[in-house]
Amino acid sequence: MFIESNINNQKKVGTIEVVAGSMFSGKTEELIRRLKRAKIAKQKVEIFKPAIDIRYSGTEIVSHDENSIHSTPVDNSANILLLAGDVDVIGIDEAQFFDKGLIDVVAKLANMGIRVVVAGLDMDFKGVPFGPIPGLMAVADHITKVHAICLRCGNIAQFSHRLSEKEQVVLLGEKDIYEPLCRSCYREANQL
């Protein structure tokens, strides 16, 4: 038998949302949009980013079109769990730069009833699944794949082509080092 007094005693349910795509596809813009809407709804929001990402700011998440929101830089995924506090929503940007432990951290947060929104590159410059993003996509409740526009032909772009000859996987950069390309232009640029 349903008792009306139980309506407001429902268990808080957490979720995992992943926004993934190539460079210049609007991942951070979408993350900022979702987090600002949560703040408008008077939800408690905490935002994290990898400490190594200081391209625009040391303490803000900044999109390529210069929208920003305050964040806490952390050195590893375990720190997110330690710093989470009493919140409703947690945002994590540039998730590909975190360790694989991020998958467990995000799952624990969601199991605690927190909505977790994660944004990151799904592939590195070689077209290989990047860091914890594939694992996060596997455990996510909702996945949004965003795309850029190919700078060479104008089609939908899903690859981050590196213009530099440097081979290390993690190389922070902007339009001077990366360009978004479609599958065909990416294959042509890499002679595949």
Encoding tokens for residue 113?
């009833």
The answer to whether residues 87 and 44 touch, using CB atoms and an 8 Å cutoff, is yes
Of residues 29, 94, 167, 188, which has the active-site annotation?
94
174 Cβ neighbours under 8 A, 6+ residues apart: 55, 64
Encoding tokens for residue 124?
């590195």
Q: Is 94 assigned a catalytic role?
A: yes
Least Cα distance to 29 among 72, 74, 62 occurs for 62
| Cα–Cα dist 167/189, whole Å | 16
The answer to whether residues 131 and 120 touch, using CB atoms and an 8 Å cutoff, is yes
Q: Which residues are catalytic?
A: 94
